[in-house]
Amino acid sequence: MAKTAVITTDGLPDEVYDYTYTARGPDDKLIRGKAKAQCEADIAKELSRRGLTPLKIKGGPGAGLQTEIAMRKTAKHRSLVITTRMLAAMFDAGLSPLESLDVAIDGADDDLVLKNALIETRLKVQQGIPMSAAMASQPAFPPTVINFLKAGETGGDIKGAFLRIADQYDAEDRLRSKVKKAMMYPMVVTIISAIIFAFMMLYLVPQFAESFKDIGGEGAELPMLTRGVVAASGILKFAMPISVVVVVPMVLWYKAHKNDEKVREFMDPFKLKLPIFGNLFHKIALARFTRNLSGLLGAGVERLEALEITAETVGNISMERAIIAARDAQRQGQALVDPLKAEPLFPSMVIQMVEVGERSGRTGEMLGKASDIFDRDVDTITDNLSALIEPLFLVILGAMISVIVIAIYLPYLSIGQMI
């Protein structure tokens, strides 16, 4: 039977909100209760201080808003960067694993999933379980983190392991920022263009059509371009609600199923074939492949395992399967470069880097150099995209507006003949 508890805090400020929470006690029993606090993080911190593991916190400012830890299994990407750098600093300062985890737990208030995972990790470490094994039991920590840490524990360099983890995720964070930067401008311009187009077609054009009837009479003949725009306006008036009804569920369905294998089998190759963004998506996947494999090999992770982990991080199912094929070829005694040569997704520069690396025994280092090149390529492409897309969208938007304006004013040029 679940117990119920209420958190009470003295001297609360005026801006506090009501929350309900579910937590797990040391005996694995559920504890449900109510609390007043400024934010969810305060509730989680208080529960953790009492030795409870927060599972669900609901309430706070805004009706219907809630935080469900169960909805998200993995930690936030940026939170992992901050936490791993913090753990590296704590180990460098000479703190014990338990003391380091205590500091990390206190600093993870902005991510309840990560905080919960750190609390569970600390409990297992306290029982004598190695930190890598303790973290491996928590879905919040991805395989890359676990394997870097496992290699660090084997080599007696946990601080270095956390630094490498932070560097890897920091680089990935920068890569994601570049992608968002590249995608944001066209999205904003598209939305603005759509709003302007819809306003003109659904409001200005019908207004004009009515006013023209008053001036020219019911039998007035509109120019062909004007008739076409007025007809398109009438179609759009009925098509737009239908489009919203169809498109919104499709978008929601895609967000829920975008990681399904069958969806990825169609979408991932399609992304690489896009005329403007395909090259960017390809470079991003190559940057992830070279950087993650380089980091894992440099940390001492066994090559077959490193290839398997890297395959999960590239974000493209075609390249993922090519990497798995390379792993299988390695298992059978072939060189890594042989299966990569047969895959057109890997350019000659990558093939040459891997080949030189295998000959010299410095595959990780050579892949790291390739990663730097691809990162610079992504920078260049994202910068060029803005320069390319801006005039393109301006021309398209200008053309749409020009056609509508000409269609509106064209009848007035001949209105004297029509009256």
Torsion, Cα 33 38 43 45, to 10 degrees, reads: -160
187 and 167, same structural domain? no
Based on the fold, state whether residues 189 and 299 are members of the same structural domain.
yes
β-bridge pairing 53-59 and 66-68: antiparallel
* Domain limit, last residue, from 171, 187, 210: 171
Q: Are residue 330 and residue 295 in the same domain, yes or no?
A: yes
> What number of other Cβ atoms are within 10 A of residue 257's Cβ?
11
Q: What range defines the domain where residue 253 resides?
A: 175-419
Give CA 361 to chain center in angstroms: 35
One domain, residues 165 and 181? no
Residues 295, 242 share a domain? yes
Long-range contact set of residues 315-321: C-beta below 8 Å, sequence gap at least 24: 315/284, 315/285, 315/288, 316/268, 316/271, 316/272, 316/281, 316/285, 316/345, 317/261, 317/264, 317/265, 317/268, 317/269, 318/268, 318/269, 318/272, 318/345, 319/285, 319/286, 319/289, 319/343, 319/345
End position of a domain, from candidates 123, 152, 171: 171
CA dist 41 → 68, 108, 154 (Å): 13, 9, 35
Q: Where does a domain end: 119, 143, 171?
A: 171
CATH of the domain at 389: 1.20.81.30
Interacting residues of 33 by C-beta distance below 8 A, sequence separation 6+: 4, 5, 6, 7, 20, 21, 23
Give the per-residue pLDDT at 55.
65
Question: How many domains, in total, are found in the chain?
Answer: 3
pLDDT at 309: 85
Which residue from 344, 359, 347 is spatially nearest to 290, judged by alpha carbons?
347
Give the pairing of strands 3-7 and 17-24: unpaired
Instruction: Check residue 223 and give its pLDDT.
Output: 76
At 286 the pLDDT is 92
Query: Could you give the CA distance from residue 40 to residue 22 in angstroms, rounded to a whole number?
Result: 12
Same domain, 129 and 8: no
Asked if 334 contacts 263 with a C-beta cutoff of 8 angstroms, the reply is no
- Element containing residue 191 per DSSP (H, E): helix 158-199
pLDDT in tens, the chain (419 residues): 344 344 444 444 446 677 777 777 776 676 778 887 766 667 776 777 777 766 666 666 543 334 444 445 677 878 888 888 898 888 888 888 889 998 988 888 778 888 888 888 888 888 888 888 888 888 888 888 888 888 888 878 888 888 888 888 888 888 888 777 777 777 887 888 888 888 888 888 888 777 766 655 555 567 788 888 888 888 888 888 888 888 888 888 888 888 788 888 899 899 888 887 888 889 989 998 998 898 888 888 888 888 988 888 888 898 888 899 888 888 888 888 888 888 888 999 999 999 998 888 888 899 989 988 998 888 888 878 777 777 887 888 888 888 888 888 777 776 555 45
CA angle, 357 as apex, 346 and 332 as ends, to 5°? 75
Beta strands in 141-236 (DSSP E): none
Integer angstrom CA distances of residue 370 from 85, 129, 218, 299, 340 = 25, 37, 71, 17, 15
Rounded CA-CA distance 268/266 in Å is: 6
Give yes or no for a contact between 154 and 148, defined as CB atoms under 8 angstroms apart: no
Residues 237 and 105 in one domain: no
141 plus 55 within the same structural domain = no
Rounded Cα–Cα distance for residues 390 and 190 (Å): 11
Q: What per-residue confidence (pLDDT) applies to 219?
A: 52
Same domain, 90 and 151: yes
The alpha carbon of 262 is separated from its chain's Cα centroid by a whole number of angstroms, namely: 20
Q: What is the pLDDT of residue 37?
A: 76
Query: What pLDDT, on the 0 to 100 scale, is given for residue 68?
Result: 42
Do 344 and 246 lie in one domain? The reply is: yes
Overall pTM > 0.85:
no
* Cross-strand pairs, 58: 20, 66
**Cβ atoms of 106 and 44 closer than 8 Å:** no
110 and 82 in one domain?
yes
Together in a domain, 154 and 184: no
